[in-house]
Structure 1
Amino acid sequence: VKSMAPRPILFAMANPDPEITPEAAKAACPDVIIATGRSDYPNQINNVLGFPYLFRGALDVRARTINEEMKIAAARAIAALAREDVPDEVGAAYAGRKLRFGPDYIIPVPFDPRLIASIPVAVAKAAMASGVARRPIADLAGYAKTLSARLDPTASTLEAIAEKVRANPKRVVFAEGEEEKSIRAALAFLNAGYGTPVLIGREERIQETIQALGLHGAEALEVLNARLSDRNPAYIDALYARLQRKGILRRDAARMVNQERNIFAALMVALGDADAMVTGLTRSYSVALDQITRIIDPSPGELVFGKTLLIARGRTVFIADTAVHETPGPEIIAHITRQMAAKARRWGHEPRLALLSYSNFGNPQSAQAERVRDAVALLDKEGADFEYDGEMAADVALDPEMMKHYPFCRLKGPANVLIMPGLYSAAIGSKLMQKLGGGTVIGPVLTGLSKPAQIVPMDATVTDILHMALLAAHDALD
């Protein structure tokens, strides 16, 4: 190793004991690039990276043989994936390692879920081009999406929304543009074809982060410095007009526009300089919501609340309100129920709404459950064009066998929209599911604003931010 040229490359593939360990190789030559077959060292070369996906692509086009062209296509797809930004979820599976292209990451890790959507597509395409495919695939993009959905339960749920946004790209503001996760999410938004992302922050800081991360293509991202924008006079005028009778002087409005990125981003959306915004990494949910609602009003006749999507065991369930109303009264519960029925339909689901409590249809009796019963009575009085019933416990709402104990229940099947009796139960339940696993949780997704804005949790991943930016862009289609 010492006698080799600078930056030598070693593939020590004997398993479990490689011909030379990375420690020994680096001691002999600190700039060595080494790969082994071991999972406890960087750059694991494992046949699971190739064989399953090579066969998947070959089988899906009914290839007569696996030829050199298909093998080369698989290798190039693996190499290309190594240069892409790695989702946080992949790094988390590897003890939180920062996986980015370099000497310790020259090849994707074996359990990267993106492999299934990259390699089989390349193999299938090569099989068709080389004439060995007996059942060509006309829509390779659709094929890739189908493959992604096998491992990612959110893929199929969000794909219809993504297609609409790609057909009508939107300009979305990432208010915390200096944050690493925001930059990566903005680049993913751009690469996905969802529209034009705009990062709010100091350009030199953002470019330094891009260089440090080695993000290819990120130099094309648009950056706006709130302090230097030529739109500031108009934003200050608009903010002062809204808040002058709420204790805000003009100089206060100027300071807020120059220094508060959520205020600046919300003004961009409110005044038509952007279609939507996403924020939340550096402010608590309540603070971010307060800043946004200073600028953006509720839609006429609608309430602002949060809905959460739970995707588990092949089912998608909406939960509301998970963000705003602490102890809603019957009128608010009924109003949220109506809005959620409309939102579920817009997302392609025929709504069956369960108004939840810890009790089932009056057993046991309590003042808290009474609020839910009164909401059901209001809906009965006003009429509705969707299935709903309550009050009922979550197990009855979701389990057909439990529901049989209440043959009078008006739901014709398990509920796909759960209306929670209060913010305590809604927030606790959705966060428990998010942290303990067993399903994929997206949200809270803000609903009811007259202009699209979304807030991510402070611990959001890049994928979380991308999903919320996509949903904000989708809201802008209305």
Structure 2
Amino acid sequence: RAREINEAMKVAAAVALAELARQDVPDEVAAAYAGRKLRYGPDYIIPAPFDPRLISHVPAAVAKAAMDSGVARKTIVDMDAYKARLAARLDPVAGWLQGIFESLKHRPRRVAFAEGEEEQVARAANAFLNQGLGTPILIGREHNIEAAFASAGVALRKEFEQHNARVSAHAEEYADFLHSRLRRQGYLRRDCVRMVHTDRNVFAACMVALGHADAMVTGVTRNFSTAFDNVRLALDPKPGHTVIGLSLIISRGRTVLVADTSVHDMPTADQLADIAVEAAHVARRLGTEPRVAMLAYSTFGQPRGERSDRVREAVAILDKRGVDFEYDGEMGADVALSAEAMRPYPFCRLKDTANVLIMPAFHSASISTKMLKELGGATVIGPMLVGLEKSVQIVALGARDSDIVNMAALAAYDITG
């Protein structure tokens, strides 16, 4: 909103483009160019048009120049918030995570990146550091970490901590800790020594368990269940909490939490009630008052079935517990999410459409969230790991650098609370 476009604004735009061209190029841009690695040089002197950072980086610089040169009709008081609003127009995740990012800038954390030898992890760790979210701790062999950073075109600065599990001064301490937990489960001490020396997830989990890091992120090179099993060797559930996988769906301006998407295969009624309580707790931690729908293929008894009866039993258990959030069920997903579909059931205790969906089983939760992402165009974050005594997040196999940064931020923030 400027009275005119002056030279100062044009120069600011040019300088912003030049600055962006010199920065690390995110995975989204490489994907648009068939995986080609773009780096500043004779063949890349201006950011690619597909670069998602353009929408927040350049307009903010131009707006500041307009204000400084006196031609702006409106003053932007909070430039960071303005950048966040711009980024959210292209990426709804950016807007949703902005509060978490701002919190971390005031209280940065030490996060272990368990797969520090991977190129996209190098870019993610660099972005995590550049955004002021905390200190990245890279787990891996020094020469492989250096190669990953060189391949990514990222400078390996002194601010990055590096830990080689094979020669770490903490290896014996971690092995003793692990053996104390596993010795009655068939593990010899030499087994624990081997795991600490050779398994990056186990090493990073021990680091977090013993307070040498605040959180960890992993998953780029291993599937969720494998990484989760590695982490559970060193970490227990937080007292009073249930470990669950929670996915966040952003679609058509609505945000919905879905559980359990990764841990409990066929939960019992008691487990379904526990999952509902944990998901409601996370919803509040993320600034949302929960309205929990206990989902099934049936709605309020029609048609009846074994799984639906288990969901009904879970609702009865929540009744007995006297929980302090809205919930009801069993109900179909359409009834939970549509006011029109809910109208024939005026006795439903939800005052509005649900924003937390508790699935009757792991498979239905996993299938539905993946279908929403691939066919419905929804943005899916997660599954986010909730309920451990220390904060850990596991990204999807082969995740992009931006996804790793987001999950590292969630780990640092500790959504379990």
TM-score, normalization by structure 2: 0.97
Find out whether 1:151 has 2:90 as its counterpart: yes
Judged with a 3 Å threshold, the aligned counterparts in structure 2 of structure 1 residues 451 and 89 are, in CA distance, closer, same or farther, namely same
Find out whether 1:462 has 2:381 as its counterpart: no
2:399 alignment partner AA? A
Give me the whole-angstrom Cα distance separating, in 2, the residues matched to 1:362 and 1:100.
60
Judged with a 3 Å threshold, the aligned counterparts in structure 2 of structure 1 residues 76 and 177 are, in CA distance, closer, same or farther, namely same
Aligned runs of 1:182-201 on 2, under 5 Å?
182-201=121-140
Q: Do the aligned residues in 2 keep the contact of 1:84 with 1:216 (CA within 8 Å)?
A: no
| Alpha-carbon offset, residue 237 of structure 1 | 1.1
The superposition leaves residues 86-136 of structure 1 with CA deviations (integer Å, 9 ceiling, x where unpaired) of 222233234443333233322112232211101111111112222222322
Size of the aligned set, in residue pairs, is 417
Judged with a 3 Å threshold, the aligned counterparts in structure 2 of structure 1 residues 454 and 477 are, in CA distance, closer, same or farther, namely closer
Secondary structure of residue in 2 paired with 1:171: strand
1:464 alignment partner AA? D
Of residues 265, 271, 296, the one that matches 1:332 is: 271
Secondary structure of residue in 1 paired with 2:112: strand
Secondary structure of residue in 2 paired with 1:337: helix
The superposition leaves residues 369-401 of structure 1 with CA deviations (integer Å, 9 ceiling, x where unpaired) of 111011011111221211111111111110111
Q: Which residue in the other structure is 1:343 paired with?
A: 282
| Alpha-carbon offset, residue 430 of structure 1 | 1.1
Of residues 296, 302, 319, the one that matches 1:363 is: 302
Judged with a 3 Å threshold, the aligned counterparts in structure 2 of structure 1 residues 232 and 217 are, in CA distance, closer, same or farther, namely closer
The superposition leaves residues 264-316 of structure 1 with CA deviations (integer Å, 9 ceiling, x where unpaired) of 00000000100000111112211111111110010112211100000111111
Give me the whole-angstrom Cα distance separating, in 2, the residues matched to 1:392 and 1:303.
23
Of residues 49, 74, 81, the one that matches 1:110 is: 49
Q: Do the aligned residues in 1 keep the contact of 2:205 with 2:231 (CA within 8 Å)?
A: yes
Give me the whole-angstrom Cα distance separating, in 2, the residues matched to 1:364 and 1:91.
49
Give me the whole-angstrom Cα distance separating, in 2, the residues matched to 1:159 and 1:418.
24
Greater Cα radius of gyration, structure 1 or 2: 1
Give me the whole-angstrom Cα distance separating, in 1, the residues matched to 2:73 and 2:248.
40
Of residues 374, 381, 392, the one that matches 2:313 is: 374
Q: Which residue in the other structure is 1:387 paired with?
A: 326
Q: Which residue in the other structure is 1:442 paired with?
A: 381
Give me the whole-angstrom Cα distance separating, in 2, the residues matched to 1:470 and 1:383.
33
Q: Do the aligned residues in 1 keep the contact of 2:388 with 2:416 (CA within 8 Å)?
A: no
Judged with a 3 Å threshold, the aligned counterparts in structure 2 of structure 1 residues 118 and 208 are, in CA distance, closer, same or farther, namely same
Q: Do the aligned residues in 1 keep the contact of 2:285 with 2:416 (CA within 8 Å)?
A: no
For structure 2, the 5+ residue unaligned runs are: none
Q: Do the aligned residues in 1 keep the contact of 2:139 with 2:164 (CA within 8 Å)?
A: yes
Of residues 277, 281, 287, the one that matches 2:226 is: 287
| Alpha-carbon offset, residue 412 of structure 1 | 1.1
Of residues 261, 265, 276, the one that matches 2:200 is: 261
The superposition leaves residues 388-427 of structure 1 with CA deviations (integer Å, 9 ceiling, x where unpaired) of 1111111111011111121111111110000000011001
Q: Percent identity?
A: 58
Of residues 314, 319, 335, the one that matches 1:396 is: 335
Q: Which residue in the other structure is 1:353 paired with?
A: 292
Q: Which residue in the other structure is 1:243 paired with?
A: 182
TM-score, normalization by structure 1: 0.85
Secondary structure of residue in 2 paired with 1:253: helix
The superposition leaves residues 117-160 of structure 1 with CA deviations (integer Å, 9 ceiling, x where unpaired) of 01111111112222222322222122111111111111221111
2:267 alignment partner AA? P
Give me the whole-angstrom Cα distance separating, in 1, the residues matched to 2:183 and 2:378.
46
Give me the whole-angstrom Cα distance separating, in 1, the residues matched to 2:295 and 2:204.
36
Give me the whole-angstrom Cα distance separating, in 2, the residues matched to 1:131 and 1:285.
53
1:248 alignment partner AA? Y
Give me the whole-angstrom Cα distance separating, in 2, the residues matched to 1:111 and 1:208.
27
Q: Do the aligned residues in 1 keep the contact of 2:285 with 2:415 (CA within 8 Å)?
A: no
| Alpha-carbon offset, residue 81 of structure 1 | 1.1
Give me the whole-angstrom Cα distance separating, in 2, the residues matched to 1:390 and 1:429.
18
Q: Which residue in the other structure is 2:100 paired with?
A: 161
Secondary structure of residue in 1 paired with 2:328: strand
Of residues 51, 54, 58, the one that matches 1:119 is: 58
Higher RCO, 1 vs 2 (CA within 8 Å, ≥6 residues apart)? 2
| Alpha-carbon offset, residue 452 of structure 1 | 0.6
Secondary structure of residue in 1 paired with 2:183: helix
2:169 alignment partner AA? D
Secondary structure of residue in 2 paired with 1:425: helix
Q: Do the aligned residues in 2 keep the contact of 1:235 with 1:257 (CA within 8 Å)?
A: yes
1:389 alignment partner AA? D
2:49 alignment partner AA? P
Give me the whole-angstrom Cα distance separating, in 2, the residues matched to 1:280 and 1:441.
16
Give me the whole-angstrom Cα distance separating, in 2, the residues matched to 1:429 and 1:67.
51
Secondary structure of residue in 2 paired with 1:306: strand
Q: Which residue in the other structure is 2:30 paired with?
A: 91
Find out whether 1:422 has 2:364 as its counterpart: no
Of residues 116, 120, 128, the one that matches 1:177 is: 116
Find out whether 1:299 has 2:238 as its counterpart: yes
| Alpha-carbon offset, residue 476 of structure 1 | 7.8
For structure 1, the 5+ residue unaligned runs are: 1-58
Q: Which residue in the other structure is 1:100 paired with?
A: 39
Judged with a 3 Å threshold, the aligned counterparts in structure 2 of structure 1 residues 78 and 216 are, in CA distance, closer, same or farther, namely farther
Secondary structure of residue in 2 paired with 1:307: strand
1:435 alignment partner AA? E
| Alpha-carbon offset, residue 333 of structure 1 | 0.2
The superposition leaves residues 241-285 of structure 1 with CA deviations (integer Å, 9 ceiling, x where unpaired) of 111111111111111111111110000000010000011111221
Give the superposed CA RMSD: 1.5
Give me the whole-angstrom Cα distance separating, in 2, the residues matched to 1:131 and 1:376.
61
Q: Which runs of 4+ in 1 moved over 6 A?
A: none
| Alpha-carbon offset, residue 218 of structure 1 | 4.8
Q: Which residue in the other structure is 2:259 paired with?
A: 320
